[in-house]
Amino acid sequence: MLHMKDLNLENKRVFIRLDLNVPLKNNKIISSERIDRSLPTIKLALKKNAKIILASHLGRPKEGQYDKKFSLFPVFKYLKKKLPEVNITFSKKYLEGINVNTHQIVVLENVRFNCGETDNNIDLSKQYANLCDIFVMDAFATAHRIESSTYGICNFVQKSCIGPLLYSEVKTLKNILNKSKHPIVTIIGGAKVSTKFNLLSSLLKITDTMLLGGGIANTFISLFYPIGKSLYEKNFQNKAKTLYKTKKILLPIDSRVSTSYSIDSIATIKSVSNILPHEEILDIGNKTVQKYKKIIQQAKTILWNGPMGVFEFPNFSKGTEEIAKSIANSTAFSVAGGGDTIAVIDLFNIYKKISYISTGGGAFLEFIENKTLPILEKLKK
């Protein structure tokens, strides 16, 4: 692959696809980790006297519609603070062309506001390519997605290369996968059930024990007990049954439940076999925490992606906090990945105690599964 560090970027229009998809609350950035990890790439482009265009998505807005809560404007303001000596501008309408000078940065508005972005639309890919001379792919967290700003642009731009952050992520994860010590414990949580389900079977090939929480665990629990109005995916029950037969998956034995989904909801701890129709599971319970902690303490390698429950609600953050701190205090080599996982690491201030933090969630899991990603194959060609 061509590497950004090896190319002459002098006076070239360089379109850098970053992952600036940070969590926001009331237009304020909750965790700046992904932006901070992208700063060395931006500084390298400045050092090489490039004309810099920065692109990213943020959240999942309705395509073709502007929505203030998904705007990258707070990210633009953060970059201005971090790079006060640089001329940084923000562009909402850029598809017909923009002016950018050497040692200047133009931050583009959320690419997912553009029609056709997630469908890898050919015309949109051409419009991105027309903005630049060189495309730099440096967004590991979206490297598994075949979209116009992450993949399609490569078909029409003069030169495409890999950025330092993406290269570093791939190199580190390859080393980890090749040298992982057993027992390997995989901890998977979060609400995105279907997106992670396809990867669980691959992870089960390399893992010794898999600990589940969140919506994913609910789908498995629903095979044995009624789970009230808890989040789960009925369509995946048969697949869950097949995976459970590996005998490597451990499920919660108790849960924190509530009758409503709200920040003020009161938590009640109940056995998973005793959930009533009007109740929903929002976190793992104390017995599950103790069971999971014993296994984490014996691990030599830990792969972690996703919280154990609705950690944003104080009454339902206990399970995630206990498991996160157990991972942090483990002697195992720990690898964590994904936006929610990074938010948990920030919230409980365990950043320095995790061996390696990947900026990617889905990409992190897909790379573990396939040892490559679509854009990497594209850049090789």
Determine which one of 12, 13, 34, 256 is catalytic: 34
Q: Is 189 a catalytic residue?
A: no
**Higher-confidence residue: 33 or 110?**
110
* Confidence bin at 6 (pLDDT 50/70/90): very high
Phi, psi of 329 (to 5 degrees): -90, 0
pLDDT of residue 241: 94
210 inside domain: yes
> Catalytic pick from 192, 229, 293, 300?
192
Q: Tell me what the mean pLDDT of segment 31-57 comes to.
A: 95
17 is catalytic: no
Tens digits of residue pLDDT in 83-120: 999 999 999 999 999 999 998 999 999 999 999 999 99
Q: What is the mean pLDDT of residues 359-370?
A: 78
State residue 367's pLDDT score.
84
Residue 362 is a catalytic residue = yes
* 58 annotated binding-site participant: yes
Judge whether 131 lies within some domain: yes
* pLDDT of amino acid 192: 66
Choose one of 116, 144, 166: the last residue of a domain.
166
Domain count, the chain: 2
Chain-centre distance for alpha carbon 328: 19
Enclosing domain of residue 22? 4-166
Together in a domain, 52 and 194: no
161 and 249 in a single domain? The answer is no
Which domain-ending residue is among 124, 143, 166? 166
The answer to whether position 230 is within a domain reads yes
Strands (E) across the chain are located at 13-17, 24-25, 28-29, 51-55, 87-91, 104-108, 134-137, 159-162, 184-188, 209-212, 249-250, 254-258, 268-271, 280-284, 301-305, 333-337, 356-358
> Are 15 and 135 within one domain?
yes
- Tell whether the torsion through CA atoms of 77, 78, 81 and 85 is positive or negative: negative
Q: Per the annotation, does 19 bind a ligand?
A: yes
In a domain, 379, yes or no: no
Average pLDDT, the chain: 93
Judge if 124 and 206 occupy the same domain: no
Task: Please report whether residue 249 resides in a domain.
Answer: yes
**Is position 374 within any domain?**
no
- Between 186-195, 220-229, 242-251, 286-295, the lowest mean confidence (pLDDT) is in 186-195
pLDDT tens-digit series, residues 130-178: 999 999 999 998 999 999 999 999 999 999 999 999 999 899 888 877 8
Kindly indicate the confidence band of residue 270, based on its pLDDT and cuts at 50, 70 and 90: very high
Structure tokens at 363: 């990409």
Question: Is 378 annotated as a binding-site member?
Answer: no
Banded pLDDT at 224 (limits 50, 70, 90):
very high
Catalytic residue from among 152, 214, 319, 339: 339
181 in a labelled binding site: no
User: Is 59 annotated as ligand-binding?
Assistant: yes
319 marked as binding residue: no
Candidates 163, 190, 214, 362; catalytic one: 362
The mean pLDDT value for 244-254 works out to 97
Domain-embedded: residue 378: no
pLDDT band at 226 (very low <50, low <70, confident <90, very high): very high
Residue 196 assigned to a binding site: yes
**Average pLDDT for 279-292:** 98
> Which band of pLDDT confidence, cut at 50, 70 and 90, is reported for residue 193?
low
Establish whether 361 is a catalytic residue.
no
Asked whether residue 104 falls in the same domain as residue 236, the answer is: no
